[in-house]
Structure 1
Amino acid sequence: MCLVKASTSPIACNRSRMGRIGLICLLISAHLGCASYDRDTMGGKTWQGAPAPSAAEDRVIATSLLPEQAAGRETRPDSSPRGHLEALSLRELEMLARQHNPTLVQAEAQVKSEHAKALQAGLYPNPIMGYVGEQIGVKGTVGEFQGGFIRQEIVTAGKLRLSREKFQARASAAEFLAVAQMYRVMNAVRMQFYRTLGAVRRLEIQKELLKTAEDTRVTVQEMFNVGQANQADLHQVRVLHQEQVLEVQQAENDLHMEQETLRATIGLPQPLGKVTGELEGPLSLFIWEEVLEQLLTESPELAAAHANLKADEIMVQREKVEPIPNLFLEGSAGRNFDARETVYGVRAFIEVPLFDWNQGTLRQAQADLRRQRNEVRRTELRLRQSLSDWFRRFRTAMQNVKEYQAVILPQSKQRYIARLKSYQADREAWPDVLEAQRDFFRRRLNYINRLVAWREAQVAIEGFLLVGGGLEPPVNVVPPGHIDAVPKPR
């Protein structure tokens, strides 16, 4: 391959170049759609006995596929014997996350906890039973009275019903938050899935660039050996090759870390193998008004805020009736040894709310209600604000993807082909061809980054903006300031 026009042995150099370009253009015809070229016939000239191209040079163009061509390549299941899972689709990864992610178990436990509070808050007080012995030992007797009693607290004003309804509303909020946690985990899995696919594609491109760098290094070394390149050219090509080696290593590290992050998000105990799927997809545009309406109507976070508001409204009612005294009834029966008769007794008493009529707790409940009303409003505004940010990201990324698919990548490819044809016609130096190739590969890397950004924004919008690492604990149902400092929940 002739990188510099030689002043010596021009025929040998030209024959070598034309033999290689014949195969290169044949590969272009098969993969990139350039004009058809015969291996041995170039520009009307027939070349016999041209040196065969090296295997490395055969790959210069063969690996340069456009996204739609690369997307069609089949991903093989991982056959690694080290206990890795086989290649997994997004649906399979989501199923694994439902089984292994610990935050989903926490969310389920929180729902059960709130239902248990509702059960406990509505239970009737237990009766008190006891023994009574009076004036025991008087004149050596067993006493004047021996017997037992039973005492029961009668809860008034529907307090138990209100307490249970309040915690049932809290349980509803916990259920909505469990749904939100499921979305949060699934969104994290989907985003990480697309990031991993992007890392796979970037590694493939970096390896293709490394192959080209190896081709260039070998060619310049051969040219240096025959006096067609100088020492500076040799040093430069070695530096470029080593820099590309580092790029491949970084891409490998990035892919490994993306896989480990995906594994941690799912909660898998064993290493994660390959993932199979597509970054490309239908570029359908979201409509702002429709997305916003759906978000404010169906968001689990907003539904949980409304459920907590209902709970706080019930809490105010409950604290208003708290000063109404409960009735305590007591019945007793026993033997009056003085009268030698069985006797009975009845007592009833109440606690008079003279000093403590729950005024402080009622004010706290009313303050919590005001806070929760504004929490609902704050949640609506936060969702709207977050949606605007994700919507902007989505539209920008989708516009970028469309332009890359329609104009940028095809034009970059055509520039690459044009440079290669000019080189074949002896009008262009090979470094110019390599520059065009590197530019094409760089734009492919940019295209993958924009695809990942588009997928992330799509997942966020479709998943009610519930994004995060997938391992954050579920949101606590009980907001700050809630009344929990009582022996029995109410």
Structure 2
Amino acid sequence: MRTATLQCCALLAALAGCQSPVGEKSPADKLTVRTDVVSNDDDREQESIRQVSYRLPEDHREQGGSQGAAHELPLTHHQMNPYSPPIVPQVGQQFVPPPPVPREPRDAAASIGPQGAIAPDATTLESFESLACANNPTLVQARAHTQAALGMAIQAGLWPNPQMALSGEELGADGRTAEFLGATVRQEIITAHKQQLSRAKYLARTAVAEWVAIEQQFRVLNDVRIHYFRTLGQQQITDIQRELLKNAEDELLTRREQYNVGQATIAGVHGANIALQRQRLAVLESENKLRTTWQELTALAGVDLPFARLSGTLEYGWPAIQWHEALDRVVTESPQMQAARSKVEADRMQLQRELVQSVPNVAVRAGAGQDFTSVPSRTVGMASIELDLPIWNRNEGTVREARSDLARQQSEIRRVELHLRQLLAREYERYITEFQHVQNFRDVILPEAKAAYAVLLDSYGFDRVRWTEVLAAQRDYFDLRSEYIEHLIGLRESEVKIVGYLLSDGLMAPPNPVPPGHINVNPQPR
């Protein structure tokens, strides 16, 4: 068929009175184009056009070799008469070679290959969750908050230590040792169950710290799962970008072949070069994103690991989460709501503790000594009781502050509930949108794109369509699959947040169990 095409081109050029680009200009100008179409038996949906090779026939190469360097081209009309205007060659008189294939851009960072150097058991979601629970520093901080609150509860319930004093009067007077030498012991007795109330208050704050620690654990695990799905999805997108690069290479080779047989313009070859180079940059960009998501994942796990391909799936096959079920679960079971309720209990105990603060404690003092004023000296004892009279200070200001803290924390429960409802509304809107996209891509769009590609591939086998149309259908299918993976990533992220009580940011320091502005006096005695 190509031989007939070349003969027709030569005949038409002869009739037009011009020289054909494939005519008898010189033996060295004759090119034989060989196109190899190789079909892959393992995958009938994939066909690739291999590189087009250009070679001279054997007789032409022998003729050119015999002439060697002595062969010279004839002078043009402009060279013989430089004062005359140059003659512009007509269309079809000269063969312009296609532009060269652009070089691959250099990767400034280390390349991420398809294989990694890490143990297989460290590439699953469960392994990264275990690593994060063991190495994430925020979990250690949250546990430290809990231990600190428990220590304050222990300290608040302890009795004050007794006080001991040694006393002497008129030491060395009148040549005597002293008039009196003795020792006293003082013990303060806590009244109105102040110790029990103080301990109950700090135990309630310990419960708040425990809920904050559970909240931080959800933050870490949710963030690990989100970044795991991001890395897994970016890994699949990178594979698709590499397939698109093969498609761009086939497109360029096809355009060069078509140009050499007169079926494409040089502008089309330039466009194919641009598309190839842009796709190479797209592969580098995808690899950079994959490198970044891997580093973020290992940072959440608290370890430094070399890159490895993750195992797992992004596919989503269970029913959609219902709005009312998600809202009831977040409002009733969220660690943030539980911590807010525990803070109310702690503030209630704080108010009860401050109400009895004005009840005076009793201090008992007792002792014994030696009286040297009498002869012989005698042993005497002493005893006293001390207490504060609440005349000027009845702790009114602290009681008022405690009541304000309790009222504020009761409103905080409602505020947290409304805030969680607002966050859930935004996240659920994203979740249901991604769910709808994933469902339609999986059930309609991707099967239709795959069927269109298969039809064009079969038609190409019967010479009904051009190979460029097959490559365009293949690109469309890969682009749609990449978009499908993006929707899958968004769906899994939203699912993790909704199931995980809308908690994320696993490297944020856990908050203080006691909010700013609350009474935080010395635990002993209150």
User: Fold conserved (TM > 0.5)?
Assistant: yes
Partners in 2 of 1:375 and 1:294 — Cα distance? Answer: 19
Partners in 2 of 1:293 and 1:427 — Cα distance? Answer: 59
Partners in 2 of 1:149 and 1:476 — Cα distance? Answer: 44
Partners in 2 of 1:77 and 1:436 — Cα distance? Answer: 26
Structure 2 counterparts to residues 83-162 of structure 1, below 5 A: 87-162=122-197
Q: Are residues 147 and 121 of structure 1, via their aligned partners in 2, closer, same or farther at CA, if it must alter by over 3 Å?
A: same
List per-residue Cα deviations over 1:281-319 (Å, max 9, x = no partner): 323221222222222222111111111110000000000
Q: Are residues 380 and 232 of structure 1, via their aligned partners in 2, closer, same or farther at CA, if it must alter by over 3 Å?
A: same
Displacement of 1:7 in angstroms is: 4.8
Indicate which of 188, 197, 214 corresponds to 2:223.
Answer: 188
Partners in 2 of 1:167 and 1:77 — Cα distance? Answer: 54
Partner of 1:342: helix, strand, or coil? strand
The residue number in structure 1 matching 2:206 is 171
The residue number in structure 1 matching 2:443 is 406
> Would you say 1:360 and 2:360 are equivalent positions?
no
Displacement of 1:322 in angstroms is: 0.5
The residue number in structure 2 matching 1:218 is 253
* Counterpart code for 1:94: E
Structure 2 counterparts to residues 81-480 of structure 1, below 5 A: 87-339=122-374, 340-468=377-505, 470-480=506-516
Partners in 2 of 1:435 and 1:140 — Cα distance? Answer: 120
Partner of 1:149: helix, strand, or coil? strand
Indicate which of 24, 37, 61 corresponds to 1:20.
Answer: 37
Q: TM-score, normalised by structure 1?
A: 0.84
Partners in 2 of 1:272 and 1:430 — Cα distance? Answer: 38
Q: Are residues 170 and 9 of structure 1, via their aligned partners in 2, closer, same or farther at CA, if it must alter by over 3 Å?
A: farther
Partner of 1:241: helix, strand, or coil? helix
Partners in 1 of 2:154 and 2:326 — Cα distance? Answer: 38
Partner of 1:133: helix, strand, or coil? strand
Please tell me whether Structure 1 or Structure 2 has the larger radius of gyration of its CA atoms: 2
Displacement of 1:130 in angstroms is: 1.0
The residue number in structure 2 matching 1:54 is 50
Q: Are residues 129 and 250 of structure 1, via their aligned partners in 2, closer, same or farther at CA, if it must alter by over 3 Å?
A: same
Displacement of 1:126 in angstroms is: 0.7
Partners in 1 of 2:429 and 2:435 — Cα distance? Answer: 10
Displacement of 1:53 in angstroms is: 5.7
* Counterpart code for 2:414: R
* Counterpart code for 1:428: V
> Would you say 1:482 and 2:518 are equivalent positions?
yes
List per-residue Cα deviations over 1:216-273 (Å, max 9, x = no partner): 2223234444544332122111100000000000000000000000011111134353
Displacement of 1:403 in angstroms is: 0.4
Aligned residue pair count: 439
The residue number in structure 2 matching 1:61 is none
Partners in 2 of 1:414 and 1:369 — Cα distance? Answer: 66
* Counterpart code for 1:20: V
Q: TM-score, normalised by structure 2?
A: 0.78
Question: Conserved in 1, the CA contact under 8 Å of 2:370 and 2:379?
Answer: yes
Structure 2 stretches lacking a partner, 5+ long: 9-32, 53-112
* Counterpart code for 1:95: S
Partner of 1:458: helix, strand, or coil? helix
Partners in 2 of 1:155 and 1:276 — Cα distance? Answer: 63
Q: Are residues 87 and 274 of structure 1, via their aligned partners in 2, closer, same or farther at CA, if it must alter by over 3 Å?
A: farther
List per-residue Cα deviations over 1:468-490 (Å, max 9, x = no partner): 2x100112101111112447362
What root-mean-square deviation, in Å, do the aligned CA atoms of Structure 1 and Structure 2 show?
2.7
* Counterpart code for 1:435: A
* Counterpart code for 1:481: G
Question: Conserved in 2, the CA contact under 8 Å of 1:78 and 1:87?
Answer: no
Q: Are residues 363 and 249 of structure 1, via their aligned partners in 2, closer, same or farther at CA, if it must alter by over 3 Å?
A: same
Partners in 2 of 1:483 and 1:217 — Cα distance? Answer: 74
Structure 1 stretches lacking a partner, 5+ long: 33-38, 40-51, 57-75
Displacement of 1:353 in angstroms is: 1.9
Q: Are residues 442 and 102 of structure 1, via their aligned partners in 2, closer, same or farther at CA, if it must alter by over 3 Å?
A: same
Q: Are residues 485 and 300 of structure 1, via their aligned partners in 2, closer, same or farther at CA, if it must alter by over 3 Å?
A: same
Question: Conserved in 2, the CA contact under 8 Å of 1:296 and 1:302?
Answer: yes
